[in-house]
Amino acid sequence: VDAKFKTFGCGSAIASSSLATEWVKGKSVDEAMTIQNTEIVEELSLPPVKIHCSVLAEDAIKAAINDYKNRNQSKTD
């Protein structure tokens, strides 16, 4: 998997997105789907008030992968 991101938000949102992007690079799609926000929280030591930023990063990864799968599935049908 290769990845990049664009986000508008606080430093925690940017850091979460950046970390998630780095983590998915070089992984298979299945491996990338296993990334969880709790891992991002732990790695960045996010305070409870910023946990939602890690959830956004996880959700973005999963949404991007699902979009990728949907686009490529239609090519094989």
Q: Is the pLDDT of residue 1 over 90?
A: no
The two most distant CA atoms of the chain are separated, in Å, by: 45
pLDDT tens for 34-49 read 999 999 999 999 999 9
Task: Let me know: does 16 contact 48? Beta carbons within 8 Å.
Answer: no
Q: Is the pLDDT of residue 76 over 70?
A: no
- The CATH number corresponding to 11-76 among 3.40.30.10, 2.40.33.20, 2.60.40.1120, 3.90.1010.10 equals 3.90.1010.10
For the chain, which residues make up each domain, given as ranges?
11-76
Report d(CA 39, CA 62) in Å as an integer: 15
